[in-house]
Chain A
Amino acid sequence: MITTLVRRIFPPAWRCLLLVLGGAWLPLRAADLPDLFAERVRSCVTVEFMVENELDRQPVTVLGVCADTNGTIILPASAIGARVSVRQLKDFKVYRPNSATAYHAEYLGQDVLTGWHFVRAEEKLRAELVPLTAWVRAGTPEPRLADEVWGIGLRGKDEDFHPYFLMSLIGLIQSMPQRTAIAASEVGGPGLPVFNRDGALVGLTLNSFGQNFLMFSRRERGVPVVLVDVEESSVFLLASEVLPYLGRIPQNVQGRPLPWLGAFGLEPVDPEVARFLRLENQSALVVSEVLEGSPAEKAGLKSRDIIVALDGRPLPRLKPDQVVATYVEREVDRHRPGDELPLTVLRDGQRLELTVTLGDEPKIIREAERKYFERLGFTVREFLYGDGMARRVKLAEQAGVIVEFVKSNSPAAMGGLEFDDWIREIDGKEVKTYAEAVAALTAIEADQNRPEFVLLTSRGSETAVRRVKLK
Chain B
Amino acid sequence: MKPATLNESPARSIIRAAVRLLVPPLLAAASARAAMSGDFNRLLEAVVRIDVREVTFEEGARRFVAGVGSGVILSKDGLVLTNAHVASPHAVEISITLPSLERVDAKLVGWDHWTDLALIRLDLDEVKRRGLAFQHAAFGDSDALYAGQTVYAVGTPYGLTRTVTRGIISNNRRYFEDREGVRGYETGAFNTWLQTDAAINPGNSGGPLVTEDGRVVGINARAYVGADNLGFAIPSNIAQRIVAGLVAHGSITRSYIGLVPAALQDLEHFYALALNTGLLINSVDPGSPAARAGLRGGDILLAINGQKVDGRFPEQLPPIQNMIASLPVGSTVKLSLKRAGQTMEIPVVTEKLESRVGEEWAFEKWGLGVRKVSRAFARENQLDDDTGVIVIGVQPGFPAAVAGLAPGDIITKLNQQTLTELETLKRVYQQFEARPDSLLVEAMRDRHVSLYVLKP
**Chain A residues proximal to chain B, CB less than 8 Å:** 264-265, 267, 269-270, 272-273, 275-277, 286-289, 303-304, 306, 348-349, 392, 425, 428, 452, 454, 456, 458, 460-465, 467
Tell me the complex Cα distance, A286–B248, Å. 51
Tell me the complex Cα distance, A458–B284, Å. 11
Tell me the complex Cα distance, A294–B244, Å. 57
Indicate if the CB atoms of A288 and B453 lie closer than 8 Å: no
Indicate if the CB atoms of A286 and B451 lie closer than 8 Å: yes
* Least distance between A192 CB and chain B CB atoms (Å): 35
Indicate if the CB atoms of A461 and B282 lie closer than 8 Å: no
- In the complex, the number of residue pairs spanning A and B with C-beta atoms less than 8 Å apart equals 83
CB 8 Å contact bits of B293-313 with A (1 = contact, 0 = none): 000111000000000000000
Stretch from B88-96, B109-117, B131-139, B441-449 that touches the partner: B441-449
Q: Which residues of B contact A461 (CB under 8 A)?
A: 285-286, 379-382
Given A286-B450, A287-B449, 14 new contacts (CB under 8 A): A265-B447, A272-B453, A272-B455, A276-B440, A276-B451, A277-B451, A349-B416, A461-B285, A461-B380, A462-B282, A463-B282, A463-B283, A464-B297, A467-B267
Chain B residue nearest to A463 (CB atoms) is B297
* Least distance between A274 CB and chain B CB atoms (Å): 9
Dominant secondary structure of chain B at its interface with chain A: mixed
Q: Which residues of A contact B451 (CB under 8 A)?
A: 267, 269, 273, 276-277, 286, 306
* Least distance between A310 CB and chain B CB atoms (Å): 19
Q: Is B280 an interface residue (CB 8 A)?
A: yes
Q: Top 10 A-B pairs ranked by shortest CB distance?
A: A463-B297, A265-B448, A288-B449, A462-B283, A272-B453, A463-B283, A267-B450, A456-B298, A273-B451, A288-B448
Tell me the complex Cα distance, A150–B196, Å. 71
Q: Which residues of B contact A303 (CB under 8 A)?
A: 449
Q: Which residues of A contact B298 (CB under 8 A)?
A: 425, 428, 456, 463, 465
Query: Given that A461-B379, A463-B297, A463-B298 are contacting pairs, would A304 and B449 also be in contact in the complex, using a CB cutoff of 8 Å?
Result: yes
Tell me the complex Cα distance, A428–B296, Å. 12
Indicate if the CB atoms of A462 and B260 lie closer than 8 Å: yes
12 cross-chain CB contacts under 8 A: A267-B449, A267-B451, A272-B452, A275-B453, A276-B438, A277-B451, A287-B449, A306-B451, A348-B416, A428-B298, A461-B379, A465-B282
Q: Is B262 an interface residue (CB 8 A)?
A: yes
Indicate if the CB atoms of B284 and A463 lie closer than 8 Å: yes
Dominant secondary structure of chain A at its interface with chain B: strand
* Least distance between A88 CB and chain B CB atoms (Å): 29
Tell me the complex Cα distance, A465–B262, Å. 9
Tell me the complex Cα distance, A396–B288, Å. 21
How many interface residues does B have (CB within 8 Å)? 33
Q: Which residues of A contact B19 (CB under 8 A)?
A: none
Q: Which residues of B contact A467 (CB under 8 A)?
A: 267, 270
Chain A residue nearest to B300 (CB atoms) is A465
Identify the interface centre among A304, A458, A465: most chain B CB within 10 Å of its CB. A465
Q: Is B333 an interface residue (CB 8 A)?
A: no
Q: Is B22 an interface residue (CB 8 A)?
A: no
Q: Which residues of A contact B270 (CB under 8 A)?
A: 428, 452, 454, 467
Chain B residue nearest to A454 (CB atoms) is B270
Chain B residue nearest to A427 (CB atoms) is B270
Chain A residue nearest to B266 (CB atoms) is A467
Q: Which residues of A contact B32 (CB under 8 A)?
A: none
Chain A residue nearest to B451 (CB atoms) is A273
Indicate if the CB atoms of A304 and B283 lie closer than 8 Å: no
Q: Is B124 an interface residue (CB 8 A)?
A: no
Q: Which residues of A contact B357 (CB under 8 A)?
A: none
Q: Is B340 an interface residue (CB 8 A)?
A: yes
CB 8 Å contact bits of B414-456 with A (1 = contact, 0 = none): 0010000000000000000000001010101001111111010
Q: Which residues of A contact B286 (CB under 8 A)?
A: 461
Indicate if the CB atoms of B440 and A464 lie closer than 8 Å: no
Tell me the complex Cα distance, A467–B262, Å. 12
Tell me the complex Cα distance, A461–B384, Å. 12
Chain B residue nearest to A456 (CB atoms) is B298
* Least distance between A305 CB and chain B CB atoms (Å): 10
Q: Is B403 an interface residue (CB 8 A)?
A: yes
Q: Which residues of A contact B148 (CB under 8 A)?
A: none
